[in-house]
Amino acid sequence: MMDLFETSRELVMRFINKDLSPRYYLDKTLQRIKQLDPTLHAFIAVYEEEARLDADAAERAVKRGYPLGPLTGVPFALKDIVDVAGRETTGGSAALGRSVPKGNAIITDRLLSAGGILIGKTHTVEVAMGGWGTNQRLGTPVNPWDLTVHRTPGGSSSGSGVAVAAGLVPFAIGSDTGGSVRLPAAWNGIVGLKVTEGTIPLEGIIPLAHTLDTPGPLARSVEDCAIGLEILSGKEQPTILIDMLEERGLFAELTRGVSGLVIAAMPAIERDGVDTEVLSAYDKSLEQLAANGATVKTISLPRRFDYYQHLTGLIISAEGYFYHGKIFDDPDAPVDEDVRPRILSGRNLSAQEYLQAVRGRHDDQVVFMKALSGCDVLVTPTIATAAIPLNEADQSTAPALFTRAANYLGLCAVTVPNGLTASGLPTSFQIIGRPHTEPLILRIAANLERLAGGRFPIPNLEKLARD
């Protein structure tokens, strides 16, 4: 038996135990992509030939008893801002020019060295500048939780979120500058990890805002995001594999539970404007954490979330214009007209405004940490609503109210599914930690995953697969 919604760890274990063939699994994955992706539009490119060769190599390795690493035989996808030698990096843009790099991004090499099989590149908002997940020129992926109404897939890592949620790959890479891993993870009902800035190298990745850019994993399980963190941050591959197989190190941390932790709930004033079903799911998650031994208390924050959202947007606009302004300044350039004003908003920012925002981050972080004193993490809904119809998305705004604070303040954060609305759309829970406390936030997320029965819900795509 084979399940295309198995996690990366489950697959590696089956490959090593010779219960499943990497090549057989890859062929079934490619078949599913051919069936579903014409509708879902998650991939901009699929590398069938190379993937089959890599799957054959993984199969030979496990037959000899020498797995290649913690992703041996596991197909993965890259957001199309990440370089792959000899393959186009479009950045989701019809105007950037077709860059064909001679070398891989550092994170590409690390994933391949871990035994992962690169199956292709996924769609993104143009130059990764947008949270709704739309792309006028190259197409917007379809949120797999509703095949009758085209809903927001979340951005900017839209294709990666859809690909994982739909069972096209168990693991994908996105990037998070203001929420671009967590937003698609939330609206697609999967797990997304935003790491502390500087943890994962940016070389070989198209920049949006170098001050805030952080690559990160999107996956179907918390443990898979932990595997991604270990690989992407450069830990030695044999050590990761042994830790994973024997539940040591970070993987032991995931099993510890939440007893004794102090969880900070967001201030009551921040609940205004949040959808009732999202708040209900949030409150239920708080109750679950408390029932499992955590202390939950509501705290006051020094600033409203919209303050952090504004300053994050200012930095993104200034640095986004620095990198991409020349293209978007051209009125005839074939760019996404929803993205154009976001990039051009950086054109008129003064050096003083920009430097105040960048230099003020440290002071704001100190004040924020003081407010969090005595608490281990802060938790919020990831987004104020479940996925909305595309035609209701206000492109002059960003759905990143609760996510941008982690970017601006240099924190880490993970988002996990925490329920379904009455109409069957995922809701999501965000856990924000101090810098470099990824093991702690993943530990809390893993506890919520166990309370969900060890598996998060998946969208029903069987009719589409049959068709």
The predicted model gives 302-317 an average pLDDT of 98
pTM: 0.98
Flag whether 99 is in a domain. Answer: yes
**In whole numbers, what is the pLDDT of the chain averaged over residues?**
97
Per the domain annotation, does 86 fall within a domain?
yes
Q: For residue 167, what pLDDT is reported? A: 97
pLDDT at 8 over 70: yes
194 is catalytic: no
User: What string of DSSP letters covers 395-464?
Assistant: TTS-S-TTTHHHHHTT-EEEEEEEEE-TTS-EEEEEEEESTT-HHHHHHHHHHHHHHTTSS------HHH
- Give, in order, the Cα–Cα distances in Å from 226 to each of 75, 106, 253, 422, 442: 17, 18, 10, 31, 7
Residue 352: predicted pLDDT = 96
Distance in angstroms between the alpha carbons of the first and the last residue of the chain: 22
% the chain with pLDDT above 90: 97
Q: What is the pLDDT of residue 3?
A: 85
What is the mean predicted confidence (pLDDT) over 216-223? 98
**Catalytic residue (choose from 156, 157, 158, 317):** 156
Assigned domain for 385 exists? no
pLDDT tens digit sequence for 43-96: 999 999 999 999 999 999 999 999 999 999 999 999 999 999 999 999 999 998
Say whether pLDDT at 465 is over 80: no
The CATH number of whichever domain residue 228 belongs to comes to 3.90.1300.10
Reading the block at residue 362, the tokens are: 């440290």
What are phi and psi for residue 229, nearest 5 degrees?
A: -60, -45
Asked if the structure places residue 224 within a domain, the reply is yes
DSSP E strand stretches across 253-400 = 262-265, 295-298, 377-381
- 263 domain-assigned: no
- The answer on pLDDT for 98 being more than 80 is no
**Residue in 79, 160, 221, 285 annotated catalytic:** 79
pLDDT-wise least confident of 51-60, 238-247, 297-306, 458-467: 458-467
Q: What is the pLDDT of residue 464?
A: 81
Of 180, 158, 149, 138, which Cα lies nearest the Cα of 312?
180
Axis crossing angle, helix 8-16 with helix 237-246, rounded to the nearest 10: 90
Write down the catalytic residue from 180, 221, 285, 428.
180
Domain that holds residue 208: 8-257
Q: What is the model's pLDDT at position 4? A: 87
For residue 266, the 8-state DSSP code is P
- Whether the pLDDT of residue 370 is over 90: the answer is yes
Confidence check: pLDDT of 1 > 70: no
Which token pair is 91? Answer: 């950045």
> Could you tell me if 64 and 104 are in contact, meaning their C-beta atoms sit under 8 angstroms apart?
no
* CA–CA separation, 168 and 165 (whole Å): 8
User: Quick check: is 266 in a domain?
Assistant: no
Within-domain flag for 449? no
Percent of the chain with pLDDT over 70: 100
Q: Which run of H or E residues covers position 121?
A: strand 117-122
Give mean pLDDT, residues 404-433.
98
The answer to whether position 2 is within a domain reads no
Q: How many domains are contained in the chain?
A: 1
259 is catalytic: no
Average pLDDT over residues 202-219: 98
pLDDT at 31 over 80: yes
Specify whether the CB–CB gap between 172 and 29 falls below 8 A. Answer: no
- Tell me the Cα Rg of the chain: 21
Catalytic residue flag (residue 156): yes
